[in-house]
A and B are shown apart, each in its own frame.
Chain A
Amino acid sequence: MLFFVNKADQRVLEKLKLIGGEEEKLLLLTGDAVCFAEEAWAETLEDLEVDELFAAKDAVEARKLNVSADCEILDYPQMVDLLFSGEKVVSV
């Protein structure tokens, strides 16, 4: 299950476990939500059982963030590929 998150609100993240249950969880962060890709949030995402983490390249670069080592940075074509990768997409 691929979660699309564009809001820097922790309450949004808390829905991942509620919605995703035991399913594998992929998280695509865009806009202000890319702050969750920083190392400081790694433990939170682990608690939420996020299996794969992605962040939008332009949003990360605009904010000059240092994302965690587990986060894969994607440009727009790559985000398209991810969205079409067969996962159920949930916008939160």
Chain B
Amino acid sequence: MSKCLTIMLLSGAAENEDAMFSVQLAEAALEKGHRVQIYLFGNGVNLSKKEFPIEGDLHITPMLLSHIEPTKMFERLAALVEKGADICTCHTNEHARGIESREYVNGTEWGDIGQSFCTYLLTTDVLVSVGH
């Protein structure tokens, strides 16, 4: 029977393994036919914004770059939405980080605690909070 997993992700990119773990857990749940909701909170909201690619010399060694790039979750979050996941943010946390007006990664949405997160809580079977 299909169930609903909600992940509250509080960590952003390159902080720790939280984002990578959450995305992989979400992928596994979707693959099994379950529903997935992800609420991006705290530094997790940084993952909801489209990257501004930088041009020219990155001044980052290829080895370090190969370490960093897989930790970027922007495209993987978009892919989760394409597979049916529902992902939204806490816009207040976005505002606190000065990124509220920036464009969202495809499929991720503006959200709030009072409605978005409460809706997730009311409709989920399991909530996992992933943060540090």
Contacts and interface: CB of A to CB of B under 8 A. Distances in A.
Interface residues of A, number: 19
A80 B28 contact: yes
A84 B32 CA distance: 11
A4 to B, nearest CB: 6
A75 B27 CA distance: 12
A58 B27 CA distance: 15
Contacts of A79: 25, 28
Interface residues of B, number: 21
B125 interface: yes
Interface in A24-39: 30-32
A31 B16 contact: yes
B128 A83 contact: yes
Given A59-B17, A83-B5, A84-B5, A77 B126 contact: no
A89 B128 CA distance: 7
Nearest to B36: A80
A79 to B, nearest CB: 6
Interface of A: 4, 6-7, 30-32, 56, 58-59, 75-77, 79-81, 83-84, 89, 91
25 contacts: A4-B129, A6-B21, A6-B130, A7-B132, A30-B17, A30-B21, A31-B16, A31-B17, A31-B21, A56-B21, A58-B24, A59-B21, A76-B24, A76-B27, A77-B31, A80-B25, A80-B29, A80-B32, A80-B34, A83-B126, A83-B128, A84-B3, A89-B126, A91-B129, A91-B130
What are the nearest 9 A-B pairs in CB distance?
A: A76-B28, A91-B129, A31-B17, A80-B29, A77-B28, A80-B28, A84-B3, A83-B126, A89-B126
Interface of B: 3, 5, 16-18, 21, 24-25, 27-29, 31-32, 34, 125-130, 132
Given A4-B128, A31-B21, A89-B126, 19 more contacts: A4-B129, A6-B18, A6-B130, A30-B17, A30-B21, A31-B18, A59-B17, A59-B21, A76-B25, A77-B28, A77-B32, A79-B25, A79-B28, A80-B25, A80-B34, A83-B5, A83-B126, A83-B128, A84-B5
